[in-house]
Homo-oligomer: A and B are copies of this chain.
Amino acid sequence: MRPIKIAYIGGGSKLWARSFMQDLALDPDLSGEVALYDIDVPAAERNREIGTRIHRKPEARSEFVYTVAGTLAEALTGADYVLISILPGTFREMRSDVHAPEAYGVYQSVGDTAGPGGVLRAMRTNPIYEGFAAAIREHCPEAWVLNLTNPMSACVKTLYRVFPEIKAFGCCHEVFHTQELLCCVLREATGVEAGRRDIWTDVSGVNHFTWITGARYRDVDLMALLPEFVERHFQEGFNEAGPVDDYLTNTFAYANRVKMDLWRRYGALGAAGDRHLVEFVNNAWYLRDPETVRKWKFALTTVDWREENQARQIADSVAMAQGRKDIPLRPSGEELVRILRGLVGLETVVTNVNFPNRGQMPGIPLGSIVETNCVFTHGAVSPVTAPPLPLGALALVRRASDNIDLTCEGTAERDMDKLFAAFLNQPLCSTLTMEDARALFTQMCRDTWEYLEPYYPKL
């Protein structure tokens, strides 16, 4: 294998970067350079140290050199692969995204994809991605671009709008957890132990609002096992990753009650964390108030928590970078390195990613960003045609997709009316009067104006 150059943009303090470096180190076939670029230079430097230390470990099987690039151009030049994982704005902006709507009775469990927070975050992120697209066109037009940033669909759509020939897609691990849940369904019904890569799922939808319409392990139809499983577990909930009440202490945990509820009503299985799914439907359903959230057994992730958590992670990173803390070397379960292996031609990988609709998702406009299975191999990404979604679920996805497209049109045209229309049409804004919606939108723009001002007309 020819050595490869990977440009890693952002990712300063996030787990994504570390799990990627670990998987990369464990791969026996790849080698080359990872060029780190982050506007937070110390974060990039920490990652360089961590990466370097990881590769020094005796279990490391591949050779990669980690460098810090002084400029975006430097990182991109010569890159074969570009990973982008940035935070658009700071926690200050995120605090407004997530919590400002609460004053209007709008609760968000994540607030980074759909809902009022998703719109504002897209408004901040899309202009930055315009810059990425232009830089990639200039410095490495042939590179494959793997986006990890949210709002996923908006980021990928912006890349393709600015540079239509770009080779980009977006990776997200939410579906994987639902696949693990299906493995539990299989085990309960048949006793068979299978991992998520041992089953097949038909996946379609938009990022964080994906659905599984078919699932099979060998000749076992997993969908046919769902009625009994849901009957047994709906009331109490079920957590494929731990105790069912994890959600009480782990902000990312949930008991899959939302997912099972959607399945009962739509005949397709919502395939993202419950925390994400709820943000794509009327807020009166699952996010009405903290009590409703508790009843459905998931949690609202606060920005306070995120800030504290990040401080812990940075401390960890510093300790690792300085060699004061060991960096365990084990597979992360993520697909990034497997996808790379596919792209360089070491194997044929089929997994779900976000990609412009070329026909792979019936019922959604061509060009909208959809999440379905794709085949990755030898430098080709080929979308796999998904079976049609049941109309009830498709209607919800179409609404989500229209909202993303309208948000992107609004950011592309710097048109605040379109952006407000997209804001207003968020299912999480269903209970807002127009006056309240307007007031909230204006306030959220003001709260985050520092990052919007360079691009948008005065409010």
Contacts and interface: CB of A to CB of B under 8 A. Distances in A.
Interface stretch (A107-115, A133-141, A371-379): A371-379
Nearest to A349: B348
Interface in A207-253: 214, 216-219, 221
A359 B359 CA distance: 5
Contacts of A392: 406, 418, 421-422, 425
A432 B346 CA distance: 47
B219 A344 contact: yes
Interface in A240-270: 261, 264-267
Interface string A68-83: 0000000000001000
**Oligomer: number of copies:** 4
Contacts of A199: 378
Interface stretch (A45-53, A152-160, A165-173, A396-404): A396-404
A431 to B, nearest CB: 5
Chain A contact residues: helix, strand, loop or mixed: mixed
Contacts of A420: 265
A66 to B, nearest CB: 22
9 contacts: A218-B378, A221-B379, A261-B434, A266-B421, A284-B433, A285-B433, A363-B365, A373-B382, A392-B421
Interface of A: 1-2, 80, 199-200, 202, 214, 216-219, 221, 261, 264-267, 282, 284-285, 288, 292, 344-346, 348, 350, 358-360, 362-363, 365, 373, 375, 377-380, 382-386, 391-392, 394-396, 398-399, 402-403, 405-406, 409, 417-418, 420-422, 424-425, 429-434
